[in-house]
Amino acid sequence: MSWYSVMIEARTDGTGEIDEDAVGRLSDLVHPHYGVAGGGGIPPRWDARISVHAADAVEAVSLAAGIVTRLAPEAGQPAWPVALAESTREDVLDEQPARPQCT
């Protein structure tokens, strides 16, 4: 088992808006998972990055997607489909240069 940093991004088909208060609420809800949340862009999207303990990257994505998609509606985020899921083992993440995030 290893720690993974997992980013889950949900996007609209071009309609809808991001509520900044919902972004803040989602950030608060994912905080116990060492997480952060963001939103905006064109097309509109919201995202969250959390840490999970998993056997491999695939399990990490599955766990994180379940957590984030359960918390997002509670925060008031639109129920848009997940368009991107990215999992990186923590030791690999520490080796990578910083990449821009969608926030």
The torsion angle over the Cα atoms of residues 100, 52, 56 and 23, rounded to 10 degrees, is -40
Phi, psi of 55 (to 5 degrees): -75, -35
Place of tokens 């240069």: 97
How is 42-90 classified by DSSP, letter by letter? TTTEEEEEEEEEESSHHHHHHHHHHHHHHHHHHHT---PPEEEEEEEEH
Note whether 87 and 51 are within 8 A (CB). no
The answer on pLDDT for 101 being more than 90 is no
Distances in Å between the Cα of 44 and the Cα atoms of 16, 36, 80 are 7, 18, 10
Domains within the chain, CATH numbers bracketed: 2-93 (3.30.70)
pTM value is 0.85
| Res 57: pLDDT | 97
Residue 48 forms beta bridges with which residues? Answer: 8, 37
Q: What is the pLDDT of residues 6-40, one digit of tens each?
A: 999 999 877 778 889 999 999 999 999 999 999 98
